[in-house]
Amino acid sequence: MARLSHAEYQERLRHIRLLVLDVDGVLTSGEIVYIDDDREAKSFCVRDGSAMYIADLLGLKIAVITARQSKVVQRRFTELPVDHLRQGEKNKVRACLEIQRQEDIASHEVAYIGDDLIDLPLLEHAGLGIAVADGHEKLLDIVDWVTRAPGGRGAVREVVDDFVSARGLWDEVLADYRRRQQAPLDEAPESEVG
């Protein structure tokens, strides 16, 4: 892989149907906190979660594939429009191929965001391999694209925003947000009614 120009990146984004995400280091900063009784804590960026709703609006399938098992991850991704959650996957390419078969999606229609060496095979498999800004230096040298944002700090949102831009769909996305956030006129406080 060689780093794409911005125009080439936008062109690839137009053909993506499945966005695959790693968890630790992409959807989180990579830190794992163990609390006294062996409970686990992770911190997720709310903008990345919001991005999944935007992806859903675009008809983009979302898969989360992680090598670890975590109740926190299960909880987070039952709250969001994620089509496939695969935990405990040591072979991420095999897991991705199973999802691709289920969804009838070719490899060139897959984008993957990763951060570390375990992600290398899936980054090479995907039609668009993306690393977060603070990813392992060896990945940064070979992926198609590197986000400006680090993992756990809006990198997924950045990529989804790039999807929206590449497809020229900002008007539709903004209209959807306005529609969903607008209170019906009969529910507005009296001081706000004409």
Q: Which helix (H) or strand (E) holds 57?
A: helix 46-58
- Spell out the residues 6+ positions from residue 138 whose beta carbon is closer than 8 angstroms to its own: 117, 120
Q: List average pLDDT for each run of 10 residues in the chain, which is 194 residues long.
A: 89 97 93 80 91 95 94 92 96 98 98 97 97 96 96 97 97 91 62 44
CB 133 within 8 A of CB 150: yes
Q: Residue 189 corresponds to which amino acid?
A: P
Q: Helix-strand-coil percent breakdown of the chain, rounded to 5?
A: 45, 15, 40
CB 124 within 8 A of CB 107: no
Q: What is the pLDDT of residue 136?
A: 97
Q: What is the pLDDT of residue 181?
A: 82
- Spell out the residues 6+ positions from residue 185 whose beta carbon is closer than 8 angstroms to its own: 193
CA distance 177 to 169: 13
18: left (phi over 0), alpha (psi -120 to 50) or beta: beta
Query: What pLDDT digit, counting tens, does each position of 30-42 carry?
Result: 887 888 777 878 8
Q: What is the pLDDT of residue 43?
A: 86
